[in-house]
Amino acid sequence: MNIVVLGAGNLAWHLSEEFQKKGQNILQIYNRTEKKAEALSKILQCDFTSKLENINRNADLYILCISDKSIAEIANSLPIENNLVVHTSGAVHQDLIPQDRRGVFYPLQTFSKGKEIDFKGIPFCVEANHENDKKTLIKLAKTLSISVHEISSEQRKTLHLAAVFANNFSNYMYSISEEILSVDNISFDILKPLILETANKIIYHSPKESQTGPAIRDDQTSIDTHLNDLNNGNYYDIYKMLTEKLRAENKK
């Protein structure tokens, strides 16, 4: 398949390299900042441009790997009428793409440049305005992963909300832990086995069943000690609110 990738950020790097590994032909990289388009195109040995008017018009697929807020604007400015245009966002409705042949190719995973990732198990959420295009996107996703799902824009919105809790908020909790440990010169490394075991456990058990800790045990002494240590500082309110929520959940 001939593909033009728009964007040269975290996802564009990973996805375009993986497409290429799986035998797809990356025709061109477009990116607003030319240097970044050039850097990625060097790795892929393909053409690049920073000008939408110079976009290659012969691709089978135009895949927007650009910030959510710029998807509508860039799709509207794309000089493409009859080819398939998709975005890769968890949060943006398919219909923000004006082209009739539009769709979504959303990998439900976190990508950062320079951090290798195994695509095999990444859930790909696919949607398209036309049945044939959906089939094409499903086929393409199956070359990358064994986990491919037809998900509507409405379902994707719900999925994205759930993912913010599961991923972004839990990662923020790791940051808080790291900061708390640093006060006593303890390395965050010591918590990693605990974090990994917590994540592994929910593969076989529901998160609710797996919950442990002072709030669930109704261990008021530990809770008071922790709140006292936090001493109305930055994380006092978060600790108090989450403890109350967990206790209420436990009583249901």
Segment 36-95, which members bind ligand NAP (CB under 6 A)?
A: 36, 65-68, 70, 74, 88-90
Place of tokens 């509507």: 152
Place of tokens 């690049």: 48
Six-digit token string for 3: 């593909």
Six-digit token string for 200: 């592994």
Find the shortest distance in angstroms from Cβ 110 to ligand NAP: 4
In this structure, how many other beta carbons lie within 10 angstroms of the beta carbon of residue 61? 23
Q: Which of 64, 27, 61 is nearest to 47 (CA)?
A: 27
Is residue 8 involved in binding ligand NAP (CB under 6 A)?
Answer: yes
Find the shortest distance in angstroms from Cβ 5 to ligand NAP: 10
Cα Rg of the chain, angstroms: 22
Is residue 111 involved in binding ligand NAP (CB under 6 A)?
Answer: yes
Find the shortest distance in angstroms from Cβ 181 to ligand NAP: 26
* Nearer CB in complex with ligand NAP: 84/215: 84
Segment 188-217, which members bind ligand NAP (CB under 6 A)?
A: none
> Which among 32-40, 115-123, 136-144, 227-235 is the span making contact with ligand NAP, rule CB under 6 A?
32-40
Is residue 28 involved in binding ligand NAP (CB under 6 A)?
Answer: no
Is residue 17 involved in binding ligand NAP (CB under 6 A)?
Answer: no
Six-digit token string for 11: 């996802």
Which residues are 2's β-sheet partners?
Answer: 25
| Alpha-carbon span 75 to 127, nearest angstrom | 17
Is residue 32 involved in binding ligand NAP (CB under 6 A)?
Answer: yes
Is residue 9 involved in binding ligand NAP (CB under 6 A)?
Answer: yes
Contact 112, 87 (CB under 8 A): no
